[in-house]
Amino acid sequence: MGLLRGDDNPAILRGPMVSKYLQMFVGGVDWGELDYLILDLPPGTGDTQLTLAQSLPLSGVVIVTTPQDVSLKIARRGLRMFETVHVPILGIIENMSTFTCPHCGQGTDVFRSGGGERMSRQIGVPFLGSLPLDVDVVAGGDEGRPILVDKPHSVSAQAYLAIATELAGQLNGLPTSAVRPFAWTWDTNEGEPAWVETATRPSGSHTTPIGFLKRDARTLSVLWEDGHRDDFDVRDLRLACHCALCIEEMSGRPLLDPTSIRSDVAPRTIISVGHYAITVNWNDGHSTGIYSFEYLRALGDRDMAKVVEDV
């Protein structure tokens, strides 16, 4: 946005416009052939982060923090948010870890030290490395000379290189999702997602789907990585919507009158939402509900428990 508006003109945008511009920049730009597309985000858990997680099949996220406690708390919240929406956490980087005086060689921990590594141990994610405070990095950034090009043998350049090498190795080793992003038209089956029974394994995740299938006109089947299959009546799914139009957010009180939902209600389209959910556009005009994979599995388990109880 700075390139479009100039240095002194702020882009004053509400959340929906931020999300719209973000989708335009990512999806509407001819990026050419890329090894990686890296998006540098501000700290937080707002519209930008959620839009990315819902709109793109992100390969992973790197959490960057400085060592002091206040930064660590913000970084931890961001990490938990991406965990919630099933974006892999590739690791933690500790930035501004130490400043080494260029005159005397004495190191000073301006923002303390070791906070990022300590958080990685507590949460159980990789620690990718520490980046020092370095005046050459600042000067190179302002003048368009990356430290790896300008001073490739410096401590900072070697730290960046080590972190990049570790990240590349992690990305190459990530498992490929059995179900790719999809927009599925229910009536015609156009865009039908995969159903990969060979990907099941007893130790697999019980909230990672490896297949969606239209069992019949009234039944959506979901195959989970642990081999379990749930069959959902589509009207039951419509009744189970827990968006703000159907459930009061503060109290959890149901707002949806089941008698108002017609018996032939059915999906028009089912669309994947990032790595963690689907959204359904219904033929009664409703389209605001997001069904997370955790919620779908819980619905399946609840129905199974009800069947056992009835028996």
pLDDT in tens, the chain (311 residues): 666 676 677 777 787 888 888 888 888 889 899 889 999 988 878 888 888 888 888 889 999 999 999 999 999 999 999 999 889 999 999 999 888 777 777 788 888 888 999 999 999 999 999 998 888 888 898 899 999 999 999 889 999 999 999 999 888 877 767 788 899 999 999 999 999 999 999 999 999 999 999 999 999 999 999 999 999 999 999 999 999 999 998 898 999 999 999 999 999 999 999 889 999 999 999 999 999 999 999 999 987 666 545 54
**Residue 228: what pLDDT?**
96
Count the helix, strand and coil residues of the chain and give each as a percent rounded to the nearest 5: 35, 20, 45
DSSP E strand stretches across 131-208: 183-185
**Residue 245: what pLDDT?**
94
**Residue 21: what pLDDT?**
83
Strands 219-224 and 229-233: antiparallel
Q: How far apart are CA 239 and CA 250, in angstroms?
A: 19
Structure tokens at 12: 């004053």
List domains and CATH numbers for the chain.
35-46+58-172 (3.40.50.300), 183-310 (3.30.2020.30)
Q: Which residues pair with 130 in a beta bridge?
A: 94
Structure tokens at 43: 């700290």
**Residue 311: what pLDDT?**
43
Burial status of residue 8 (CB atoms within 10 A of its CB: 0-12, 13-18, 19 or more): exposed
Query: Residue 18's CB: how many other CB atoms inside 10 A?
Result: 16
**Residue 44: what pLDDT?**
78
Q: Which residues pair with 184 in a beta bridge?
A: 270
B/e letters for 185-217, b = 16+ CB within 10 Å, e = fewer, are ebeeeeeebbbeeebbeeeeeebbbbbbbbeee
Q: How far apart are CA 227 and CA 212, in angstroms?
A: 13
Among candidates 192, 185, 169, 191, which has minimal Cα distance to 283?
185
Structure tokens at 212: 């969606």
Structure tokens at 179: 């179900």
Amino acid letter, 67: P
**Residue 2: what pLDDT?**
65
**Residue corresponding to tokens 């303390």:** 112
Q: Count CA atoms within 13 Å of residue 22 on its CB side.
A: 20
Q: How far apart are CA 221 and CA 233, in angstroms?
A: 9
**Residue 305: what pLDDT?**
63
Burial status of residue 253 (CB atoms within 10 A of its CB: 0-12, 13-18, 19 or more): exposed
Among candidates 11, 17, 75, 15, which has minimal Cα distance to 43?
75
**Residue 75: what pLDDT?**
93
Q: How far apart are CA 172 and CA 59, in angstroms?
A: 10
Q: How far apart are CA 289 and CA 238, in angstroms?
A: 9
Q: Which residues pair with 272 in a beta bridge?
A: 278
**Residue 257: what pLDDT?**
95
Q: Which residues pair with 89 in a beta bridge?
A: 61
SS3 282: strand
In this structure, the chain runs to a length of 311
